[in-house]
Amino acid sequence: MTRRCLLGVLVIVLFFSVGLAQAAAPVLTHLDTNDKVIALTFDDGWDSSTCEKVRLILLDHEVVATIFPVASWAEGHHSLIKRFLADGHELGNHTMTHAKLTMLSLVQQEQELREAHEILAKLGGQQLTGFFRPPYGSYDKNTLKVAAKLGLRPVTWSIDSWDWRDVPTQQVVQRTLERARPGGVILMHLAARNTVHALPQIISGLKERGYNFVPLSVLFADHLVVAPISPIDRHVQVTYQGELIELKPAAKLVDGVTMVPCREFFQHFGWRVCWDAKRQLAVCQLAEVQILVQAENNSIQTCLTGRLENGKLYVPLRALATELNFRLGWDAATYTANLR
Taking the alpha carbons at both ends of the chain, their separation in whole angstroms is 67
| pLDDT at residue 38 greater than cutoff 60 | yes
| pLDDT at residue 54 greater than cutoff 70 | yes
Select from 231, 242, 254, 215 the least CA-distant residue to 337.
Answer: 242
d(CA 167, CA 32) in angstroms, rounded, equals: 30
d(CA 196, CA 323) in angstroms, rounded, equals: 28
Q: What is the reported pLDDT for 184?
A: 97
DSSP 8-state class, residue 167? S
User: Domains in the chain, start-ordered, CATH in brackets?
Assistant: 25-223 (3.20.20.370), 233-339 (3.30.457.10)
Residue-wise pLDDT tens digits, 79-130: 899 999 989 999 999 999 999 999 999 989 998 998 898 888 888 877 888 9
Phi-psi map region of 9: left, alpha, beta (phi>0 left; psi -120 to 50 alpha): alpha
d(CA 340, CA 85) in angstroms, rounded, equals: 14
| Active-site residue, selected from the candidate residues 77, 89, 98, 189 | 189
| pLDDT at residue 333 greater than cutoff 80 | no
Q: What is the reported pLDDT for 84?
A: 93
Bridge partners of 252, per DSSP, are 235, 259
| pLDDT at residue 42 greater than cutoff 80 | yes
Q: What is the reported pLDDT for 225?
A: 56
Q: To the nearest whole percent, how much of the chain has pLDDT over 70?
A: 86
Residue-wise pLDDT tens digits, 194-231: 999 999 999 999 999 999 999 999 999 876 654 455 44
Q: What is the mean pLDDT of residues 40-46?
A: 91
Q: What is the reported pLDDT for 25?
A: 63
Select from 81, 82, 87, 91 the least CA-distant residue to 328.
Answer: 87
Weakest mean pLDDT among 8-12, 81-85, 101-105, 164-168: 8-12
- Quickly list H helices, the chain: 3-23, 48-60, 71-75, 78-86, 106-124, 141-150, 169-179, 195-208, 216-219, 262-268, 317-323
Give yes or no: 166 in active site.
no
**Which has more pLDDT, 333 or 317?**
317
Q: What is the mean pLDDT of residues 140-153?
A: 91
Q: What is the mean pLDDT of residues 236-248?
A: 92
| Active-site residue, selected from the candidate residues 30, 43, 94, 98 | 43
| pLDDT at residue 257 greater than cutoff 50 | yes
HSE-CB for 98 with a 13 A CA cutoff: 12
**Which has more pLDDT, 144 or 25?**
144
**Which has more pLDDT, 298 or 19?**
298
| pLDDT at residue 322 greater than cutoff 50 | yes
**Long-range CB contacts (< 8 A, 24+ apart) of 232-236?**
232/126, 232/256, 234/335, 235/335, 236/126, 236/335, 236/336, 236/337
d(CA 313, CA 85) in angstroms, rounded, equals: 27
| pLDDT at residue 335 greater than cutoff 80 | no
Q: Share the mean pLDDT of the chain.
A: 86
Strands (E), 255-324: 257-261, 272-276, 281-286, 289-294, 304-305, 307-309, 312-316
Q: What is the reported pLDDT for 229?
A: 58
d(CA 237, CA 183) in angstroms, rounded, equals: 32
CB neighbour burial string for 69-86, b if at least 16 within 10 angstroms, e if fewer = bbbebbbebeebbbbbbb
Q: Which residues contact 296 (CB under 8 A, 6 or more apart)?
A: 305, 306, 307, 308
Weakest mean pLDDT among 153-167, 183-197, 210-224, 298-312: 298-312
Count of residues for the chain?
340
d(CA 294, CA 302) in angstroms, rounded, equals: 9
Give yes or no: 268 in active site.
no
Weakest mean pLDDT among 116-125, 136-145, 269-278: 116-125
| pLDDT at residue 20 greater than cutoff 90 | no
Query: pLDDT-based confidence at 46, cuts 50/70/90?
Result: confident
Residue type, 160: D
